A and B are shown apart, each in its own frame.
Chain A
């Protein structure tokens, strides 16, 4: 499903963010990507969503070589590889419903389709009753749920979660991880980028460890080893 072949990325003057990274992730897997700050996790995410182009190597999603992707294709990539962040990245002047609907509106979906899909997804993430509130009127956990709902409306093949629990307390963090597991059970490949040792160890899923831009460990049922 996702294949990285000798992917390297260097930032000026000569900082190696990724150094000959090769790995593959099968469709439907739940993978945790761990590592200390500055080991290349964020660069990995940015390369997967087309925000950065590697200096060397190839990244393929299915048969799609995204290292050769044109600027005009990026919006389509973003609908296949959805991403959620630590800071939620919701539009503050739109309600939660509008934030989720917005993702469909930009894709040119009809109003009827938006009206049928959005409430369903909001219900799945547990925000059915609060969908008409603005982001500043709900908790951090609920904002992250809304961000997940927004990522799900395209029914993406891959969901990249970049430190999704970084701003949440342990209870909310666990709820978000449970939601990601549920999404994974529906068939979406989930890549969880995290610092959180407890979460990784409790998951008992595949763990890839990055250090100085290189893969130093890749365990099918792994633990946080650093």
Chain B
């Protein structure tokens, strides 16, 4: 058995070397197919990250009375922090609100001058509340509306609700379209792979018939083709992985500029998911290769 496996491997390597152009073309098609799948997955990852970035920025603010004592504000903050689905509650004091206002309008001397005309700080302190799960935003708003505290000046959340509904709708559609496009694309890729290998085996049809003629078993005929396809797949995955990694390095500076102030690094994403990503690709392509080999060899093994 071992000698047969070694011989099948020898025939496979001999065949790859002696049909070098066919081998190169097969690997090239595999590389293009893997690269396309990787690209599609990246587009999905980036679009999901963009949606998450927008969702992450969603918060609601409770504006408090200007004379609200600090101790009561902190007590209210603690109470809100205890509500389920609250990720964090940021307390923006009157002073911080003023500094933020001045920073935002530093290029508008009229507004700054008007502010200076006033005797005291006119801005209200506020509590900025960020939810854990924006899909359960309605429940959070209901909880916040139930809080009855005299230091609360206003709580108008309607604009946020509308925006969230739109984001959720867009997210859902992007996911649905992405899923459909991915399925279609993966199906096309698998068809391309299947046909590439069938063509590769078709060119060997007379050899397959001769192998059968001299008494080779089905296993012995198929094994070199299966080993060759696994090698092609492995080489294809390695090359496409390397090229794709270089491509991501070129892409990352543009993504950094796009996701300003947001921690998104596509290279890290691929590094952390490398194993499952490429093992899955290799396994899927290898399975297709084996099926193509089995079907094609069966077809051409009659003399």
Contacts and interface: CB of A to CB of B under 8 A. Distances in A.
A91 B218 contact: no
Most buried by A among B207, B210, B218: B210
A161 interface: no
B218 A89 contact: no
B210 A90 contact: yes
Nearest to A83: B213
A108 B14 CA distance: 18
Interface string A34-59: 00000000000000000100000000
B18 interface: yes
A9 interface: no
Given A75-B215, A78-B215, A89 B210 contact: yes
Given A51-B302, A51-B303, A106 B210 contact: no
A195 interface: no
Contacts of A51: 302-303
Nearest to A154: B215
B3 A78 contact: no
Nearest to B215: A78
Contacts of B207: 91-93
B175 interface: no
Contact of A108 (B4, B211, B218): B4
Most buried by B among A75, A103, A107, A150: A75
A150 B211 CA distance: 12
Contacts of A91: 207, 210
B218 A71 contact: yes
Interface string A14-27: 00000000000000
B90 interface: no
Interface in B249-303: 302-303
Interface string B11-48: 00011001100000000000000000000000000000
Contacts of A137: none
A51 B210 CA distance: 13
B218 to A, nearest CB: 7
A93 B18 contact: yes
Contact of B217 (A75, A89, A110): A75
A105 interface: yes
Contact of A107 (B19, B206, B215): B215
B214 A103 contact: yes
Interface string B143-181: 000000000000000000000000000000000000000
B3 A108 contact: yes
A93 B215 contact: no
Most buried by A among B15, B210, B215: B215
B15 A93 contact: yes
Interface in A99-131: 102-103, 105-108, 110
Contacts of A102: 211, 214
Nearest to B18: A93
Nearest to A156: B215
Contacts of A107: 215
B2 to A, nearest CB: 10
A211 B264 CA distance: 81
A89 B215 contact: no
Contacts of B68: none
11 contacts: A71-B218, A72-B217, A78-B212, A89-B210, A89-B213, A91-B210, A93-B19, A102-B211, A106-B216, A107-B215, A108-B4
Interface of A: 51, 71-72, 74-76, 78-79, 83, 89-93, 102-103, 105-108, 110, 150, 154
